[in-house]
């Protein structure tokens, strides 16, 4: 079974609780911290050892200390009992996806041949927000190989406005 499948029910339970308590950001921070703890090589060894679940949960919570509230500690205990602490990074990932959906925010990668001006970025952002009916967060980068133009990727949407993309579409049209 893959980690996302294991993580999804924990993330969903935590997310539903966080939404109910209006503490989504707090929960994302808590889960992020706990997930970071699992990335420590010694903790990873501990998680994958034969230590009993209760002792493992106690040790994990001792390390996390004040970073987790009572409900966060309960989630860690439940995950430890079920041998799922190694899934914490995937839980955070799923939780973040659910939060983005709640916030109706989509991230768009914009690759351009040259650095975009603030005005160009604002125009792209406004156009995408209108098209996707969501808030859009732009991640801009430069790739000189494009020659000119931009490529925008937002989820399943890909808009190739690069010269290279236009030339290849023209070549396909001419060949058909």
Q: What tokens appear for 98 in the block? A: 């659910």
Q: Which residue in 172, 4, 175, 7 sits closest to 79, CA to CA? A: 7
Least-confidence region, from 44-53, 92-101, 105-114: 44-53
Between β-strands 105-112 and 150-154, what pairing exists: parallel, antiparallel or unpaired?
antiparallel
List % helix, strand, coil for the chain (3-state, nearest 5). 65, 15, 20
* Cα dihedral across residues 51, 55, 59, 60: positive or negative: positive
DSSP 162: S
Question: In the chain, where does the domain assigned CATH 1.10.520.20 lie?
Answer: 3-101
Q: What is the pLDDT of residues 116-128, one digit of tens each?
A: 889 989 998 999 8
Residue 107: pLDDT band (50, 70, 90) is: confident
Q: What is the pLDDT of residues 129-150, one digit of tens each?
A: 888 888 888 888 998 887 788 8
The pLDDT score that the predictor gives to residue 148 is: 86
Question: In the chain, where does the domain assigned CATH 3.40.30 lie?
Answer: 104-175
- Selected residue with higher pLDDT from 3 and 28: 28
Q: What is the pLDDT of residues 53-96, one digit of tens each?
A: 788 888 888 888 788 888 888 888 888 888 888 889 999 999 99
H or E element that contains 152: strand 150-154
How far from 100 is each of 46, 96, 112, CA to CA, in Å? Answer: 32, 6, 25
CATH, domain range 104-175? 3.40.30
DSSP 144: G
Q: Residue 171 above 80 pLDDT?
A: yes
Angstrom distance (rounded) from CA 11 to CA 102: 14
Please, what's the largest Cα pairwise distance for the chain? Answer: 69
The pLDDT score that the predictor gives to residue 1 is: 61
Q: What is the pLDDT of residues 7-47, one digit of tens each?
A: 899 899 999 989 888 888 999 999 999 999 888 888 877 77
Per CATH, is 3-101 categorized as 1.10.520.20?
yes
Angstrom distance (rounded) from CA 3 to CA 126: 36
Between β-strands 157-160 and 150-154, what pairing exists: parallel, antiparallel or unpaired?
antiparallel
């Amino acid at each position: 079974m893959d980690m996302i499948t294991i993580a999804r029910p924990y993330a969903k339970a935590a997310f539903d609780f966080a939404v109910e308590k209006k503490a989504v950001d707090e929960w994302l921070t808590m889960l992020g911290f706990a997930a970071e703890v699992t990335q420590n090589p010694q903790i990873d060894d501990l998680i994958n050892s034969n230590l009993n679940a209760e002792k493992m949960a106690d040790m994990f919570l001792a390390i996390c200390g004040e970073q987790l509230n009572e409900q966060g500690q309960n989630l860690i205990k439940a995950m430890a009992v079920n041998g799922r602490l190694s899934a914490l990074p995937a839980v955070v990932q799923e939780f973040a996806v659910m939060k983005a959906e709640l916030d109706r925010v989509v991230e768009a990668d914009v690759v351009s041949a040259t650095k975009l001006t603030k005005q160009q970025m604002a125009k792209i952002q406004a156009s995408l927000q209108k098209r996707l009916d969501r808030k859009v967060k732009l991640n801009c980068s430069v790739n000189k190989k494009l020659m000119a133009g931009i490529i925008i990727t937002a989820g399943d949407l890909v808009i190739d406005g690069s010269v290279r993309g236009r030339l290849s579409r023209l070549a396909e049209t001419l060949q058909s």
